[in-house]
Amino acid sequence: MTGFPGALAGIAENPVARREWRGLAHELGDWRVWLYLRQPRQARGWAVRALLGCALLPYALWATLATLHPWASRNGLAPLRIDVLPLGFLLVGLYLCLASGAVMALSIARERERETWETLRTTTASAHELLLGLLFGRLTPLLAGFLIVGMVWSYARPHYAPLLRPYMVVRLSGQQIALLVWELAFVAAGAGSLSLAASAWCRKSGTANAVAAADVLLLIAGLLGAVMGLPRVEGAVILLAGSGTAILAGYLSALYSLQRDAESG
């Protein structure tokens, strides 16, 4: 891991990260994208836009339940005696994990297909700078967008919780929502790191996408299995430890692939 601290400290000046940030800013800087008059060209643009729209999820749930309430009351289905809001949060987190995998799966494989990989490698001095540039440039905008959405969910709870209570039970506190958001963000970071490794090892974007999707699903299934199979261990500890292991394993695998390519080339 020699060179990692220096590459991390210089991430703000990393040319790969700056290229990715500029591309995303240019794409999302068009007001027509936000009014759905124009569609983003890349998966990360779609993902960031969709994630930010999820900030209104509690209010969308309220509007849906309020609309269906007369019918549900006549059929004895209202009010709901369960808190369905966490399910909505988890589904957004699942989308974040899948989107992170899709974005990072194309990071290296697509460059190879376009025959721009060697040009990209010459913009950085080390493999650490290249990998961190791709991770911070492509993955962190998604995670940052999700954390912003999580802040809205947490801090707006005193406003939307009273709106939901006539139709359902609301149990999650603002702190519990914040903890759930951070846990899901770490899982998504693990998914993104594993997908970066898939992109480093696979020569075709289609293969990289398939391997990355399998890695993400195995990660999620493994974490859920560990949470259910180890009831004496806090779920947050399992999720954070498992996600941290995935982040480290994915990064080291991608690093080994780049070093192997450099030695063979």
What residue ranges do the domains of the chain occupy? 4-264
Which has the closest alpha carbon to 102: 147, 50, 57? Answer: 50
pLDDT of residue 265: 59
Residues of the chain with pLDDT under 50: none
pLDDT of residue 128: 92
CA dist 237 and 187 (Å) reads 12
Q: What is the mean pLDDT of the chain?
A: 91
pLDDT of residue 158: 95
Contact indicator for 85, 179 with CB cutoff of 8 Å: no
CA dist 237 and 255 (Å) reads 27
Contact indicator for 258, 131 with CB cutoff of 8 Å: yes
Neighbouring CB atoms inside 10 A of 69's CB total 15
CA dist 134 and 21 (Å) reads 10
Neighbouring CB atoms inside 10 A of 28's CB total 17
pLDDT of residue 230: 87
CA dist 127 and 66 (Å) reads 54
Contact indicator for 92, 149 with CB cutoff of 8 Å: yes
Token duo for residue 178: 């914040």
Which has the closest alpha carbon to 247: 215, 214, 203? Answer: 215
Q: Rg of the Cα trace of the chain?
A: 21
CA-CA-CA-CA torsion sign (245, 251, 257, 263): negative
CA dist 38 and 168 (Å) reads 37
First to last CA, the chain: 21
What would the DSSP string read from start to end of 158-177? HHHHHHHTTTS-----HHHH
What would the DSSP string read from start to end of 178-229? HHHHHHHHHHHHHHHHHHHHHHHH-SSHHHHHHHHHHHHHHHHHHHHHHHHH
Q: What is the pLDDT of residues 50-92, one digit of tens each?
A: 999 999 999 999 999 999 988 988 888 788 888 899 999 999 9
pLDDT of residue 1: 61
pLDDT of residue 231: 85
